[in-house]
Amino acid sequence: MYLCRLYIYVVLAVAIMGNVGLAIFSRAEIAYVNLQPLPETGAMLALILFALNRSVPNSTARPLIIVVISFLIEAFLLLILLVLAFRVGDHITKIGAPPYVDDWLAATDMALGINWIGYFEWIHARPNLHPMLRLFYDEVNWAIAAVVVCFAILGRFDRVRFFVEAFVICAGLSILFGAFLPARGAPDFWVYDAGHYSNFVSLPGVFYLDALEYVRQPGPVVIGNGALTGLVTFPSLHTAIGVLIIIACWRSLLVIPAVFYSSIMIPATPVWGGHYFSDLIGGTIMALGVAAVLIRSPAFSQTFARRQKGLAIPVARGFRPVG
């Protein structure tokens, strides 16, 4: 496997089964008809990937075309599993409707001396920054894809696996925390009159509130009838992704664009993501903790090794698939 090790697929499969179990034993229902053909396509891709790997069992002897096709198929398969496991899971785990923790998150910001509304107004007063900030925030999925594709082209599949595994673990943890620590978000908490902020076309950072309120309402809930937008406030997954992009690209040719992207995307997160600064701190701690555990594991112990005597790190390191 080129994108991650087998345990990640096991985790995603368990998450999908957990979603199905919650739908069976709770007031939620999953609109499978609206998710088609994702399950069928995922199963078909898994069979094709298995057949390709069996056709040339020796991974080092596989033709380049087989490697490229296998990589693309695995990428689409992983994307489908992420939607079924985490996008669905993000919504179905919110039906428990524990109390919102906005008061606690806002109080944490203030205790740290952070003025969220002051930052919001500072951003509002600089409309020339808005298009770039929003673009970098909204297109985080393309940034993830760019990291994976660039390292795959460079033959650094060890970095691909590190980044993908760290991302999946952080995404799962954020959903787990979000299930018990829901919040409506900083803009909804702090902004009393959106009309005072005319430089914004509409109040940013509240795009998920209708979906959040829907899954928390009493009575039956259907998951999948609408867009499966992210509902987690704490910790900030966008921030975690930005940190992981920098770590994954460290000591590589990609570190400068990685730092450039993350240094713009993360500051956009409190406004366009509706996050408190405590969410950003939580996302940073989560990413650093997950990355530290993975880097210390045998699989990635040499991934970020220092260059010695001015020699470049071999381009083909980590090319061999695992699993």
> What is the per-residue pLDDT for 249?
96
CA distances from 5 to 16, 150, 166, 294 (A): 18, 19, 11, 12
- What value does the mean pLDDT of the chain take? 89
- Tell me what percent of the residues of the chain surpass a pLDDT of 70: 92
Higher pLDDT, 314 or 231: 231
* pLDDT of 308 over the 60 cut: no
Q: Mind giving me the DSSP string for 49-97?
A: HHHHHHHS--GGG--HHHHHHHHHHHHHHHHHHHIIIIIHHHHHTTTT-
Cβ–Cβ under 8 Å, residues 228 and 130: no
Q: Model confidence over 61-84: pLDDT tens digits? A: 677 777 788 888 999 999 999 999
> What is the per-residue pLDDT for 55?
75
Q: What is the mean pLDDT of residues 260-286?
A: 97
Q: Model confidence over 193-222: pLDDT tens digits? A: 988 999 999 999 999 999 999 999 998 999
> What is the per-residue pLDDT for 52?
78
Q: What is the mean pLDDT of residues 291-312?
A: 76
> What is the per-residue pLDDT for 46?
87
Q: Model confidence over 10-33: pLDDT tens digits? A: 999 999 999 999 999 999 999 887
**Overall pTM surpassing 0.75 (yes/no):** yes
Q: What is the mean pLDDT of residues 136-149?
A: 94
* pLDDT of 318 over the 80 cut: no
User: Buried b / exposed e across 163-174, counting CB within 10 Å, b at 16+?
Assistant: bbbbbbbbbbbb
Neighbours of 57 (CB within 10 A): 8
> What is the per-residue pLDDT for 40?
85
> What is the per-residue pLDDT for 57?
66
> What is the per-residue pLDDT for 105?
97
> What is the per-residue pLDDT for 232?
95
